[in-house]
Amino acid sequence: MVVQLHGTAFLVSTDGVFLTARHVLEKLFAEINEKGGSAGVFPMQVVAGKPRSLTVPIVDFEYAPVPADIAIFATGYNSSTPFRLVMRTVEVWQDIATMGYPASNANQTSDKFEVQQRAHKGYIQRVIPAGRLHPGQHPDCFELSFPITNGLSGSPLFIYQGEIDEVVGICTHSHESRVVLHSHMNVTEGVAEFSEVVSRVEEFGIAHDLRPLLDWAPSCLNGLKLHQVVSR
């Protein structure tokens, strides 16, 4: 039985290779070490005209080199996928999309766990070079015109092309910025202070650029590079 979902993963190879965010797997395995259980992915298939989720265990995994918040894992699941990893130019105003399984869409009862997919479509607001997003260390990133809510971490950032979607990044988190619109302070008889601050909070999604990792050869791919396993 599914106890908890930690994020989104997506299939990039017909022989069961998935990509997700590194912190999704880290949190998953930390909880398993603490509470027990097993790790798996739950791909959706249409059976007799109705959607049905399968339980597929993770058999091997590896994290991408730091500071990329990206991970790969292998399963025994076999299916076609519309996603292809590509090396292409991505600039500001590029139309992009993602889809995944946010925690806000989950419905858990005593005997089942249901979650619906949510899709976002928008554009690249900013191309962020490595180390320019604070706080923390980050690789090359994309700032998105929509937020990445809890559960969407690990979802693909792709350019919609119809039958084949070109994946250029992996959604990791949202970045918040606060802009002060108005600030005012009153001091009464030199003792009491009264202040008023009006601010605007902006939240943008962040996706880590996957293109620099196309030549990455994780051990779970048995000598193949990332761009080779997805193109077979």
List % helix, strand, coil for the chain (3-state, nearest 5): 10, 45, 45
Query: Residue ranges of the alpha helices (H) in the chain?
Result: 22-35, 226-229
Q: Which domain, by its residues, includes 129?
A: 10-229
Residue 201 lies in a domain: yes
Q: Is 173 helix (H, G, I), strand (E, B) or coil?
A: strand
Lowest mean pLDDT among 45-54, 128-137, 217-226: 45-54
Residue 26 lies in a domain: yes
Q: Are strands 95-100 and 44-47 parallel, antiparallel or unpaired?
A: unpaired
Residue 4 lies in a domain: no
Which CATH number covers residue 141?
Answer: 2.40.10.120
The identity of residue 51, as a single letter, is: P
Is the pLDDT at 115 greater than 90? The verdict is: no
Segment of 98-102, 114-118, 130-134 carrying the highest mean pLDDT: 98-102
Residue 78 lies in a domain: yes
Give pTM, 2 decimals.
0.85
pLDDT of the residue at 134: 76
Residue 152 lies in a domain: yes
Residue 3 lies in a domain: no
What does the alpha-carbon distance between residue 228 and residue 170 come to, in Å, rounded to a whole number? 18
Is the pLDDT at 11 greater than 90? The verdict is: yes
pLDDT of the residue at 15: 87
Q: Residues 138-197: pLDDT tens digits? A: 999 999 999 998 889 999 999 988 788 999 999 999 987 666 556 666 666 656 666 666
What is the number of structural domains in the chain?
1
Residue 2 lies in a domain: no
DSSP 88: -
Short-list 85, 206, 84, 197, CA closest to 138? 206
Short-list 76, 117, 106, 150, CA closest to 3? 106
The identity of residue 188, as a single letter, is: T
Residue 5 lies in a domain: no
Q: What count of other Cβ atoms lies within 10 Å of the Cβ of residue 207?
A: 26
Q: Residues 16-69: pLDDT tens digits? A: 999 999 999 999 999 889 888 888 888 876 666 666 677 889 999 999 999 999
